[in-house]
Amino acid sequence: MTIVSKNKLRKFSDLLTYDNVYQCFDWHNPVLHGKAMEEFDLKGNWKKKHFGNDNPITLELACGGGEYTCHLAMMHPNRNFIGLDIKGARIWKGATMANQKELKNAAFLRCRIELIARFFEKSEVDEIWITFPDPFLRDSKANRRLTSPFFLKEYRKVLKNGGIVQLKTDSHPLYEFTLETISEDPKCELLYEEEDIYSKQLVMSELEIKTYYEQMHLENGLKIKFIRMALHDNEGWL
Q: In sequence order, what are the beta bridge partners of 163?
A: 231
For residues 60 and 125, what is the distance between their CA atoms, to the nearest angstrom? 11
Q: What is the pLDDT of residues 188-235, one digit of tens each?
A: 999 999 999 999 999 999 999 998 888 888 888 899 999 999 999 976
Percent of the chain at pLDDT exceeding 70:
96
In this predicted structure, the answer to whether residue 4 has a pLDDT above a threshold of 60 is no
Q: Alpha-carbon distance 148 to 180, whole Å? A: 10
* Domain boundaries along the sequence of the chain: 42-231
Q: Is 170 a catalytic residue?
A: no
* The CATH number, out of the four listed (3.40.190.10, 3.90.420.10, 3.60.15.10, 3.40.50.150), of the domain defined by the range 42-231: 3.40.50.150
User: DSSP code of 211?
Assistant: -
Summarised one tens digit per residue, pLDDT across range 18-29 is 999 999 999 888
The secondary structure of residue 194, as a DSSP letter, is E
C-alpha Rg value of the chain to the nearest Å: 18
On whether the CB atoms of residues 159 and 125 are closer than 8 A, the answer is yes
Task: Return d(Cα 57, Cα 126) in angstroms, integer.
Answer: 6
Choosing from 14, 19, 85, 134, which is the catalytic residue? Answer: 134
Name the band, by pLDDT with cuts 50, 70 and 90, for residue 177.
very high
Stated pTM of the model = 0.95
pLDDT digits (tens, 9 = 90+) for 60-114: 999 999 999 999 999 999 999 999 999 988 999 999 999 999 999 999 999 999 9
